[in-house]
Amino acid sequence: MMNTEPEITPETQAESYSFSKAKLPKELNYPLKRSLLDAALRSASVYQTVWFVRYLGRRNGNTVLNAHIGPEQYSDAAAGRVMLTVWAVPAKDRRVTEDLLLNQGLPLLCKWLERVESEGNAWRGFVHSLIFERIVIRCRAQSSKQVLGTKDTTGHVLPSFTFCNSFVICASYHFSSSPNFIRWM
């Protein structure tokens, strides 16, 4: 007789977080694959700390990912639990944003989740948030080299400019004693 029971591995024994993912319009993408998020959380042994992950199909300014934990003493569903939100980004920026999250954002998130696990009840009596934003740095380099078409009407050489865009991930940490701070932004 063949065994039809699923194989139980440490990963399947660990309770999974709740998950939701909204559909996206064509011009947006999610900056982080769920499998990459899960791998980072498991690698840092903080997977079980996360209660809910939602991928929202709209932009939230420059925010690409945020994490919140509500005070334990309140009687709502999020009390004492970590909720992660991954926000959509313009499709053209997805790859660079994902690279930044993988190399800079997720290691910081995992350290923060380790802290969530180790802090006492006084710390857990407040709302704590970790917010990752994608900041565009615009560079402008000036050159006085004569390039075809860069003279003004009097024959003077106009400076030419080179523009470049660069992205960084900026993390900010917030806490509050107000339970309304975390309410499903």
Range of the domain at 169: 16-182
Total domains in the chain come to 1
Tens digit of each residue's pLDDT (9 = 90 or more) over 119-158: 888 888 888 888 998 876 655 554 444 444 444 555 555 4
Residue 132: phi and psi, rounded to 5, are -110, 125
On whether residue 5 sits in a domain, the answer given is no
Higher pLDDT, 43 or 142: 43
Determine if the pTM surpasses 0.85. no
The yes-or-no verdict on residue 163 having pLDDT over 90 is no
Long-range contacts of 135-143 (CB under 8 A, 24+ apart): 135/62, 135/167, 135/168, 135/169, 135/170, 136/165, 136/166, 136/167, 137/165, 137/166, 137/167, 137/168, 138/163, 138/164, 138/165, 138/166, 139/163, 139/164, 139/165, 139/166
Cβ contacts of residue 71 below 8 Å, gap of 6+? 79, 80, 124, 125, 126, 127, 177, 179
Distance (Å, whole) CA 132 – CA 29: 16
On whether residue 92 sits in a domain, the answer given is yes
On whether residue 36 sits in a domain, the answer given is yes
DSSP letter (8 states) at residue 110: H
Task: Check residue 81 and give its pLDDT.
Answer: 85
Task: Tell me the two tokens of residue 179.
Answer: 């339970």
On whether residue 35 sits in a domain, the answer given is yes
The one-letter code for the residue type at 69 is I
On whether residue 74 sits in a domain, the answer given is yes
Distance (Å, whole) CA 75 – CA 9: 34
On whether residue 136 sits in a domain, the answer given is yes
On whether residue 10 sits in a domain, the answer given is no
Tally of CA atoms within 13 A in the half-sphere of 96 that contains its CB? 13
What are the Cα distances from residue 21, in Å, to 18, 40, 47, 58, 167?
A: 11, 19, 18, 11, 25
Tens digit of each residue's pLDDT (9 = 90 or more) over 50-109: 999 999 999 988 899 999 988 877 777 767 789 999 999 999 999 999 999 999 999 999
Higher pLDDT, 16 or 34: 34
